Amino acid sequence: MDVHLDEIIGKIKTEGVDKAKQEADQLLSQAKIEAEKTMQNAKSDAHEIVNRANQQSTSILERGKSALQQAERDTVLVVKEKLNKLFSGFIAQQVHGSLDSNVLTELIKKALSQWNMEKNEALFVHVSKDDAQKLVAAGISNLSQGNRKIEIKVDEQISRGFMISQDSGGGLKYDFSDQAVSEALSTFLTQYIQELLR
C-alpha cells in the first residue's frame, strides 16, 4: 500500500507540477502577447507622434517662409516708398531753388515766344506774389506782343515758377510751377528707381 500511496503522491505531484508548469507557460505566453501588443501600441503611438511632429514642424517652417517672404515684400515696398519720397523731396527742393527770378524771366519769355500769337485773346502769366514783384522790378510787367495782351497775375497757389493760361479763370493752362515740374520729374524718376530696384 505504501507503494501505491507513493505512486499516487508521485502522480499528484507530477500532475500538480505539470499543471503548474502548464499554467506558468500559459501565463508567460499571455504576458509575451500582452508585452508584444504593448510594444506594438507604443511603436504605433511613437510613429504617430513623430508624424504629427513632422507635420507641425513642416507647417511651422512653411508659415515661417511665408512670413519671411511677406516681410521681404514689405521691406522692398517701404524702401521704394522712402526712396521715392526722398527723391521727390530732393527734386522739389532743387527745382524750387533753381527757379529764381532771372531763370523765371527767361523761361517766361521763351515760353511766350513759342506761343501761337495769332488770336486776339489775352494771355495770363500766373506767378507767386514775390515773383510778380520781382518781375515788375525787373521791368517785365508788360509782356504784350503784337495784338495779344499778356498780363501777369498773382496766384497764391504758386510758390515758384509760372503758369500760362488763355483766360484769367481756370481754362486751358500750361503749368511750369515748381510743383508741376517736380511732379513730372518725380514721376519719371520714380519709374526709373522702381526699375533699378527690381
**DSSP structure string for 29-65:** HHHHHHHHHHHHHHHHHHHHHHHHHHHHHHHHHHHHH
* b/e map 90-101, b = 16+ CB within 10 Å: ebbeebbeebeb
> For residues 166 and 121, what is the distance between their CA atoms, to the nearest angstrom?
7
Q: What is the pLDDT along the chain (198 residues), one digit of tens a residue?
A: 566 777 777 777 777 777 778 888 888 888 888 888 988 988 888 889 888 988 998 889 899 899 989 998 898 888 878 877 887 788 778 877 777 777 877 887 787 777 665 566 677 888 888 888 877 776 665 566 566 677 788 888 888 888 888 765 556 778 888 888 888 887 877 777 767 766
pTM greater than the 0.75 cutoff: no
CA distance 154 to 143: 15
Indicate the burial class of 131 (C-beta count within 10 angstroms; 0-12, 13-18, 19 or more). buried
Strand order in the sheet with 150-154: 150-154, 123-127, 161-165, 173-177
The 8-class DSSP code of residue 167 comes to S
Cell reading at 167: 483766360
- DSSP β-ladder status, 123-127 and 150-154: parallel
